[in-house]
Every structure is written in structure tokens, then in C-alpha cells.
Amino acid sequence: MGDPLRTLRPWESPEVTSWGRLPMNALDRRPGALSLDGDWRFQLLPAPDAPVHDVWSSQRVPGAWTVQGTDDLPQYTNFAMPWGEFPPASPAANPTGVYEREVDVPAEWAGRRIVLQVGAAGSVLLVHVDGRPVGVSKDSHLAAEFDLSGVVRPGGRAVLRLTVVKWSDASHLEDQDQWWHAGITRPVLLYATDPLRLADVTVRTRCDGTLRVDCQVRDAGGALPAGWYVTGDLDGRLLTQDEEFERFKEEDGRVSDFLGEARLSTVVAGARPWTAETPALYPLTVRLHRADGSVADTSHHRVGFRDVEIRGRDLLLNGERVYIRGVNRHDFHPLTGRTVSSEDMRADLVTLKRFGFNAIRTAHYPNDPTLLDLADELGFYVVDEANIEAHDHAHEIADDPRYLAAFVDRVSRMVLRDKNHPCVVIWSLGNESDHGANHDAAAGWVRRHDPTRPLQYEGAAKLDWAGPTLASDIACPMYAPLEDCVAHALSGRQTKPLIQCEYSHAMGNSNGTLADHWEAIESTPGLQGGFIWEFWDHGILQRVSDGRPAGRGGAGLYDHGVTAPGHRWAYGGDFGEAIHDGAFVADGVVFPDRTPKPVMFEHREIAAPVRLAYAGGELRVTNHQHFRGLEWLAAEWLLSLADGGTRTAPAELPRVPAGGSAVLPMPFTLPEEGGEAWLTLRVTTAGDEAWAPRGTEVCVPQVRLRAAAPKASAPLPGPPVEVDEDGLLVHPLLTAAPVLSLWRTPTDNDELGGMALRWRAWGLDAPEREVLDVRRESTGVTVTAGYATLAGTVRHEQVFTRVRGGIRIEETAELPEGLADVPRVGSVFETVPGLEVLEWYGQGPWESYPDRSAGAPVGHHSLTVDELFTPYLRPQESGGRHGVRRFTLSAPDATGLTVTLDEPRQVSVTRYRAGDLAAATHHDELVARPGCVVHLDAAHRGLGTASCGPDTSPGHLVRAGTHRWSWTLRLL
């Protein structure tokens, strides 16, 4: 009858989700298994029906073939399918990878049941052993298991062939915002069990120490042998057989010769509850015994005691309302695509933990199971999301009965795999797939199988956040305007928690108004947090010479967001693909090498466990955690004086319970002189944490103790300031005199939000300057110029006055009504070469902007000019510092210039003009200028998040009207 896998043509049949595949379960069979990872014979066929030939190459497993030297390269699309066929059809040109290797089956496995596990393969996996068909599986992000007992011989050698078809009907369900890859992307292993085995184990706990363990037992022969039984122990405590459950089975007629069931239970007095702050885990061992008492099978688990419930409009963990400070996370690596090692996953979570995140949404599929092990251990609340996104054809597929089995299969297998992880607090039915009967069917299965966790799905709740729906217990919108969220919480109509599944889009220089969101969340009952999109910039390391991925050999070719010469971070379109979505894949809070972007420091302070307040001469510290005291933290005081540097002193944190506060003695006596004064509490870990060694900085809350006193420099008699015939300042350290700047290199938000198009149409990128008047007087020189734009002429006046040690420049810009929203108003000038170091008093040391500055404390900071620059994957406005009072730009010989500003302003110092950045698509195209380009802004537009979400708030727009600013330029 031929090969049934070919007869089924599963890549064309949405009704076929598997064939020969074993049921999913929550057992971890990795310990003791035989790893089949490594180099496999490989050939890439043009289509699944193409004949296999005699010429083989090699591929590393796990790993995607799209980053391992084949001609099938990565492709990025956000939601448009990369080919035009409508569901369930797939294209005829369909890359198909054939993996083959010999497997030596251990002789000691004689008489045992032998199982193959393929951790993940996409989008269709076909399994053959010695040419015999074994099974098929769909779902690119869950493991598939096949019983090989009848087709392999212990002590013998078998030829294992895994055929992976890239495109299929299932691809329409995996239309996620990420690179399209193909291959075997998670580990492959072979393991053996006794014929009598544990088929599944379900662990359920309560935070009061109640533990229930439900076990399912099967036998390879079919009928279960008489006399088997199950035992268990939790951290040395024996569990007891649940006799009431045994009686219920018999009375209910549930006794089966095929599937056995047993229940174990105990109550642990004084059990330490599991939370993200205190992730206490207990080792659980479950043993299946034969009638003679010998052990047939064993399963190990880590148990966390916790409750999850929704009460009214609050999500509660162990009875406490917790804030969800979340991020969306893909399985991603810049060298290996979707294949991520356990070491890299731990590094992901350690990074998130150090920057104040406590929650992860697995976007948009179940992540590698190791990630959940680590989330249990390190402490994260996880929204576990099914591998369903039908974005391009969402409306059709949501109600298409041909896809019903696939919806239920993907959701149910995720739940069966991950149900025992305490970190999983919410199930998600998928992402951006409209809402239809297929979702409701999957929701019904989950509610029956696991009533201990709430369920969410954005598509089911987006039209009415308060409406009842089977598919979502949580209102989880995407990028809802903040004012709409607040209005809903105050409306009296709210019926469920409002936790945005995506609320701030981290594309390029972004995440403006993050502090505004959290100020509203923390002050508005009914708002409980959300998830930033996303963790990674999905840049793939690319060799510029041939346009191909660097592959595994690229290790060491990148560091701190910057690649080595000859390499760059590739985004959509860089591999020659015609259909792509450009740099939209570069929208993470970390760079592809996991270097934190500046927004991470913003989030760290917003999420700080310790808050500081100063009012009426009283200094107060608050514990902003939900469950933990302050005993795990240490601290020191820093006093920053505008005119006197920084002083330090030890700090002793009081014993304050979660949610509590205490008054602290003032650590310093303020000197009468010294100007503006800021007090910072530098908080670090007091001992080693699982995610941070002792001394790791946790947060730096800050309060102002004294405001700045106004100062003025009197004009000095003498020769007037030198100005040339064009009204431009002549200065020995400037190669380009200060002129008006209304333009910034558009950020990704500016481009995709439509603002940059408007600014270019006005001509803000190159307004024509015309000198209108130059007046030379005994006290100084006044230059008036007009800057022509299509929205009207901007009148700009500069008054140059000689003062002690330098020149004061007083500036006025009058913007006509037509310029209702511009990127900046300020001065720009360029310096001579050789000025290498910027020292400043103001906010820092991180990059900051008017609507993203909460993470940059005021103080004395110093960085090289090159370190100031932030290398967002697509060059754009970056490197700015907000709230700068004064700065010095110096050469190694201590010569240079210093600038004092009339009030805290936005400043940037870089090696590039705005036009240089705008003309480049990647950083390898940039050529640094020998001098510095300096911007001093009277007003700078906020960043917002308009590439996918709301723009900045109205208070951070730069409006028409009169803008005034002044600054003093001196030589060192």
C-alpha cells in the first residue's frame, strides 16, 4: 500500500495533526536518555515529493537549516504570509530537509519500551526507521514522541530518517512576528521505559501546603498487570494513598484494565509558598511499583505551593494582588535562530530578573521546556501561550472546522506538557487569530482539564473588555491607549483584571511614557500591569561579504550591541527576500547579543522594590514588594551636589515588610553652599541570589533635597564676540557654529507612526537659512535669521555676549502655527577633532529622553563620546541625555570646552550628523566624523511607542510658538 506518510500528504491536510505520535504528558524523560544531537547527514529537497538523492551534506541538530549554510535563508514577516496561497494550501516550492543517521540501540534496553523524542521540528515532521514509516507530527514548538519498540532491535543499529517539510497547512497557524526558519530546532533523544510505566503525572498544590498527585499508568502489553501501586515522597516526606479516590473509582466504574489511575496526597505544615519573589521549590519523586514491590518507573518533579485565582477584577497569587511586570519572549539566538541552549535561557532570565521583570508571556508558542524549569527556579509568572497565530487569515481560520482539531491539539498538548510548573499562572489560547468556534472549543478543553488557572485570549476580549466570554478571564488588550485603560477602570463596568498582553513596543529608540503607564497602573485599582513587546532584537549575525548568516562560527564576533568588522545585525530584507517587514523584527529591550538597551534601566527603576520619598524634611523608605522583606538588600547613600561632587555614606535598611514603610534619619548635613542637591539610595543584593551575586545593583531611588539657585553671568566690557558675515559664531574649538536645529534622525516610532513623513514634507531636515539682521553693539552681537519650511518661516534670534571666561548665547525661536509638532527645537554645532570625553552634571549615565528618564538619576557622570552612542539596529536618533545642567567635552590633554545651560536641557554628543544616521540602513555603513556633533535642545519631542502602539503623551510634544533657551560656552 506504499508509505502511508506520503499517502496522507500531511503537509496538505489540516484535519491531520498527527499519525503514530504518542500522547503528550508532563513527564521529563531527559535524564538517562540517549542524546541524538550532533551532526546528521542532510539534504535539502525542493519539495516533499522530490526524490532523495545520493549526495549528502551535514547539518547540526538541533539547529535550523536556514542558518547553516543552505540556500534556503531566513525570511522575516510580521503578519503577511511569505507566499500567496490561501489556507490550507501551501506553495509547490516547499523546501524539505531530510536528516539521516545511524542509531546504536543499547543492548540493555532489551524487553523495554523504546521511544524517540523530537523536541521541535517545523512545520511537519515525518519519521522513518530503516525505511519503515513510523509517524508524523505538526506543531513547530512542541515535542513529538514515537514508539520505536517494534521497529528497532536492542543491541543493533537502525537508520533513523527525519523529514521536515517547511510549509504546510499548519504554517497558516504559525504566522508569528518572527523569522521564518525550518529544521529540527530542539534536542532529539531516545529513551527507554519498562513496559509498565507512568503515562502521566498531574501535580496540584495550594499555598497552605496541600499537595495532590494524580498518576496515570499504562502497560505496553495493553492490560495492566495485577498488583501494581504508586508511592511518592516530597523532600523526604512520604505521600499517602488517597483511599477516597480509590473508592470513587470503583463506585464510578472508572476501574480500567488499560489505564490505571492512582492519587497521592499530603499536607505540608509550614510549607514555604512559591512566588516570583520567593520561588520555593520542593523535590517530588513518584514511583510506580510492580506487585513484588520492585520499581518499574520513576518520575521527578519540582513542586511549588501556590494559588492562582481571579477575585472580582483582581488576579491574585496566594491571595495577594500582584503587579505583572512582564515581557514577551521568543526562543531566539542571533547565531542559531530558534535553538537556544539552557545556558542562554538562564542568561535571558537572569537579565530580566536584574532589571525588575517578574513575568513572561511565551510569545507566541510554548517556549523550550527548559525555560519553564528556570522560571520555576528563578521566579517568574508565566503566561503560557499556545502555538496559534493565524494573523494573515485570522477571520477565516478561527471558524474553519478543518482547523478545529489543530486548535484543540495545540492548546491541549501545551497544557498537558506544562501543567505541573508553578511558574505557569495563566494559559493563553494564542495570538492575533480573531475569535471563533475553534478558540471556544480549545477553551472548553482547558477549563475541564485544568480549572486551577485562568485563561486568556486577546482576540476574545478586544471588542468588550467587560463582556463575558468563554475564551478569556482577563481583559488583555494590545497597545490600548493609557487613557482608555484608566477610563475603563474608573467606569464601574470593569468585571475582570486588565493586564495588557502587549503595551509598549521596544522597536529602536522607544518605550517612551513607560513611567506614565506605571504611575497610572499603581494608582488606579483595576489596572494590574502588562507585557512589553519584546525581550530580543531579532538581529541575525550576517557576513557582509556574502550576505549569509554567520552561523555557529560567529561566536565572539559581537559584543555590546556592536558586531566585528565584516559583520552586521541583519533584519528583514537583508537576505534578499522580496516579501519582508524590515527592521520591525528589531523590537526588543535587549540587543541581539543580550546587551541591555537603555530602556532596561528605565524599567528597573519603575519596578524598584525600594522607593524613596522626601517631604516636609522627612525621608521615608517604602518596600514595594508583594511578599518579601528588605533583608535581602544592602544599600549606600550618595549625595550629589551641583557644585561639590558626590559624597557617600553607608546605609542601613530597616526591617520593613512587603508594602510597609519607615522613616529614615537624614544621612548627611547639607552644606550651605553647593547648589542643587540630590540624595540617592544605591540598593544592591546583600548576599548571593540565584540570579545575582552579592553587590549587584538592584535600583537607585533618588530624591531632591534642594533646588538650584538662579545664577547669572554679568556681561564683561571688551571686544565684542566675533561673528562672520553670515552671522555665525567664530570660535577656536568649533568647526561648525551653533545654528537652529528642528530635526532629528527619525526613530522607528517616528517613521512608522507617520511623523517623519510629515517633518520631511515640511522640510525640517534641511531648512534654508537666511540671515535677516546682524546688530553689533557694545554689549554683544544679535543675529536674526529665518529658516524656511513649507509650513512657514521660523524666526531665530541669537544674542552673543562676552561673560567671564566665555560667551553667553541667548536664543529665541518662533515657530509658526503650521509647525504644530516638531522633533526638537535647539542648537547644533560641531567641534574640532580630539575631544573624546564627556563629563556632565544631570541625568545619566544611561541614554534618556523627556518621556523616558525615570531610570537616569541626577549626578556627576562621565563617558567617552563613543560610549554615549546607542547602536540601535537601524541607525536613528540616539545617545541623548535628559536634564543636563552643564557638561565638559575634553581632549586627553585636558583642553576642551564646557557648556552651562540655563536650566536642565536635552543634550546629545555624537560622531554623526542627523543626515549621516538617516542615510544609513546598518551601522557598518556609518563613518564617524573626526569631531563631535553637539545638540542642545530647548525642547525635544518624546519617543512614544508609535511603531506599534500609542504615540508619546501630549505633554511631551514640541508645539508651535516661542521657545527660549540660553547657554554659556567656555574654554577649559
* Catalytic sites, residue numbers: 432, 502
Residue 712: count of CB within 10 angstroms of its CB:
7
Cite the beta strand spans of 78-112 per DSSP E: 96-104
Tell me the longest C-alpha to C-alpha distance in the chain.
110
* CA 134/CA 128 separation, integer angstroms: 5
* CA 40/CA 60 separation, integer angstroms: 6
* Nearest CA-CA partner of 264 in 251, 250, 246: 246
Distance linking the first and last C-alpha atoms of the chain: 89
Alpha helices in 890-964 (DSSP H): 914-919
| Beta bridge mates, 2 | none
- Report residue 160 as a C-alpha cell: 533513523
* CA 826/CA 556 separation, integer angstroms: 41
Exposure of 166 in the CB half-sphere (CA atoms within 13 A):
25
> At residue 54, what are phi and psi to the nearest 5 degrees?
-90, -5
- Cβ neighbours for 92, distance < 8 A, ≥ 6 positions apart: 47
The helix/strand/coil state of 718 is coil
* CA 241/CA 327 separation, integer angstroms: 41
* CA 678/CA 228 separation, integer angstroms: 70
* CA 530/CA 549 separation, integer angstroms: 34
- Tell me if 481 sits within 8 A of 425, measured CB to CB: no
What is the enclosing helix (H) or strand (E) of 868? helix 865-868
Strand order in the sheet with 229-234: 237-238, 229-234, 282-289, 295-303
Using CA atoms of 584, 585, 586, 590 in order, give the dihedral in degrees to the nearest 10.
Answer: 140
* CA 904/CA 923 separation, integer angstroms: 31
> At residue 731, what are phi and psi to the nearest 5 degrees?
-145, 140
Alpha helices in 307-429 (DSSP H): 342-354, 369-378, 394-398, 404-418
* CA 303/CA 298 separation, integer angstroms: 16
What is the enclosing helix (H) or strand (E) of 646? strand 645-651
